Amino acid sequence: MAKNWQDLASYQPRVIKLLANSIQKQRLAHAYLFEGKRGTGKKDIGILLAKSFFCENLQDYKPCESCKNCKRIQSGNHPDVHIVEPDGLSIKKGQIQALQEEFSKSGVESNKKLYMIIHADKMTVNAANSLLKFLEEPNANTIAILMTEQYHKILNTILSRCQLLSFQPLQPKSIEEALIESSIPKHLAALVSQLTNDTEAAIEIAQDDWFAQGRLKVIKLYEIVVNRKGQAPIYVHTDWMSHFNDKDKQETGLDLLLYIYKDVLSVQLGNEEQVIYQDLIQQLKQHALQMTQRSVTEKITSILEAKKRLHANVNPQLLMEKLVLTLQEG
């Protein structure tokens, strides 16, 4: 689904405001470097900027989305918009030279041209030097958008010729909304949005049946710890370890458990709207009355300690058995 300026303004308000101003004042830079983690909307905003640049019926700073140029950019076949991505592990000199050749011809549709270099940090030294010449002598009406997740790997000589726009990690609320739009059930969306600030990764996690099953196992363990104390170590042995069967999965399991106890604390502090496990809210309210704030805080600390120890090569089963015994106290 095509993202519009309004969608992206909720993800990256600062970036959108700056670009909107530049479009309105017709002061777009000839080269931008979009820098930020994967999934923060860099390419979506690059495509939107291209539409605004070429749009035949620009409305303020927003593209009309219905003219010939907007439609061709959306479908990826506008002759004056070029996207360069790594060929294998790197962007090679030949790719940049081919781009320069394209740009030495006059624009097919107009005198404007725009190119995007995705993963610009993966340019070979020769490719980067080729690009440098290109950036040093910009053609009028040409815009370059370089994108990177590894800002520190870009040559200083290239950095100095680009306007840097930093993309912030997405807030959980934005990711949750994007997941719900992608038909992910709300109870899963709320939880996954806490685990990553990359929308694409979040969708992958939420669609994985292992995750949905894991969430149920975490809830079950929590209920056993609260209501059937003696059975928690047995449950770890019979059910938990076979599902959370490597370090990454065990860490995810601990995170999911941590969020339940954080939810109990949110209820105790009167912040019910912050509860992630909204489908458990009645149980959580009941448990919030049965535990002191101090006891919940201690349980949260013990889970965080277990997460730390997981990376110190402790036996994960013993670690979990010890943790559930600690959680059962108080």
Q: What is the pLDDT of residues 176-218, one digit of tens each?
A: 988 998 899 999 999 999 998 888 889 999 999 999 999 999 9
Look up the CATH number of the domain holding residue 22. Answer: 3.40.50.300
Instruction: Give the pLDDT band of residue 109 (cuts 50, 70, 90).
Output: low
| 112 and 43 both lie in a single domain | yes
- Contacts of range 110-113, beta carbons closer than 8 Å, 24 or more positions apart: 110/54, 110/80, 111/140, 111/141, 112/53, 112/54, 112/80, 112/141, 112/142, 113/80, 113/81, 113/82, 113/139, 113/141, 113/142, 113/143
Give phi and psi for 175, each to the nearest 5. -70, -40
Q: In the chain, how many domains are there?
A: 2
| 131 and 55 both lie in a single domain | yes
Q: Is the dihedral of CA 274, 224, 283, 191 positive or negative?
A: positive
| 27 and 146 both lie in a single domain | yes
Which of 113, 141, 169 is the endpoint of a domain?
169
Note the pLDDT tens digit of each residue in 115-168: 999 999 999 999 999 999 888 877 778 899 999 999 999 999 999 999 999 998
| 141 and 212 both lie in a single domain | no
Q: Is residue 179 part of a domain?
A: no
Q: Using CB atoms within 10 A of its CB, is residue 238 exposed (0-12), middle (13-18) or buried (19+)?
A: exposed
Which of 169, 195, 220 is the endpoint of a domain?
169
Domain that holds residue 84: 5-169
Q: Which helix (H) or strand (E) holds 291?
A: none
Give the chain's end-to-end CA distance (angstroms, integer). 50
Cα angle for residues 260, 266, 270 (degrees, 5° grid): 150
| 19 and 102 both lie in a single domain | yes
The whole-angstrom separation of Cα 138 and Cα 56 is 24
Instruction: Give the pLDDT band of residue 98 (cuts 50, 70, 90).
Output: very high
| 162 and 232 both lie in a single domain | no
| 148 and 226 both lie in a single domain | no
Strands lying side by side in the sheet with 31-35: 81-84, 113-117, 142-148, 31-35, 163-166
Which of 116, 143, 169 is the endpoint of a domain?
169
Note the pLDDT tens digit of each residue in 248-305: 999 999 999 999 999 999 999 999 989 999 999 999 999 999 999 999 999 999 999 9
Look up the CATH number of the domain holding residue 258. Answer: 1.20.272
Cα 8 from chain centre: 13
Name, in order, each residue with C-beta under 8 angstroms of 270's C-beta and a sequence gap of 6 or more.
none
| 135 and 245 both lie in a single domain | no
Whether the pLDDT of residue 1 is over 70: the answer is no
- Indicate the SS3 state at residue 57: coil
